[in-house]
Amino acid sequence: MGAVDALTRQFLSLRTKYRELREQFIALRQRYLLVKCAWCQRRLGWKRKQAAVPGATSHRICPRCAADIGRTLALLTVYLTRAAY
Q: What is the pLDDT of residues 17-54, one digit of tens each?
A: 999 999 998 888 888 888 999 999 999 998 888 776 66
Q: How far is CA 84 from CA 58, 64, 75, 77, in A?
A: 39, 30, 14, 11
Tell me the Ramachandran region of residue 55: left when phi exceeds 0, alpha when psi lies from -120 to 50, beta otherwise: left
Q: What is the pLDDT of residue 52?
A: 66
Q: What is the pLDDT of residue 42?
A: 95
Domain that holds residue 22: 2-84
Q: What is the pLDDT of residue 54?
A: 67
Q: What is the pLDDT of residue 36?
A: 94
Percent of the chain with pLDDT over 70: 94
What's the sign of the alpha-carbon dihedral 24, 27, 28, 34? positive
Domain count, the chain: 1
What are the residues whose beta carbons fall under 8 Å from the beta carbon of 39, sequence distance 6 or more?
61, 62, 65, 69
Residue 81 has pLDDT above 80, yes or no: yes
